[in-house]
Amino acid sequence: MDDHREGIQDDEPIPPWERPGCFRMDCEPHRGGILNGLAILGLIVSSVSMFLPPLLVIGMPLDVTTWYLARLDLAKMSKGLMDPGGEKVTTEARRTAVFAFALCIIWAAIWATLLLVHK
């Protein structure tokens, strides 16, 4: 017999949610809006730290935490474990958090330099 499927192992079919571009309908909802809000808050705190250096203590951990959570969520989205509908907003939140953290580093360096020169 000529079987055109000979040699193809078809033991278990691939579940629909494991196919490329698909995700489980019972996956976690995305947190893009929350992460974007945290990233914007971090950016505001980082910007205000230009005038109030103690805010760096709040801004840096907030930015790093937002950056980390966004990275985790994007990884879950790529595996199909989280709703990929929030991928764009989560990516934007990650970028904003990275920018805000860089701003914190810049202001921390400026404030440290001013303190050292002043002494």
Q: 14-71 pLDDT, tens per residue?
A: 766 666 666 666 677 788 999 999 999 999 999 999 999 999 999 999 999 999 999 9
Q: Tally helices (H) and strands (E) across the chain.
A: 3, 0
The residue ranges of every structural domain in the chain are 31-118
74: Cα separation from own chain's centroid: 6
Q: Are 59 and 45 in contact (CB under 8 A)?
A: yes
Strand partners, 82: 28
The answer, as to whether pTM is greater than 0.85, is: no
Cα distances from 22 to residues 74, 88, 101, in angstroms, run 15, 17, 34
Q: Are 104 and 67 in contact (CB under 8 A)?
A: no
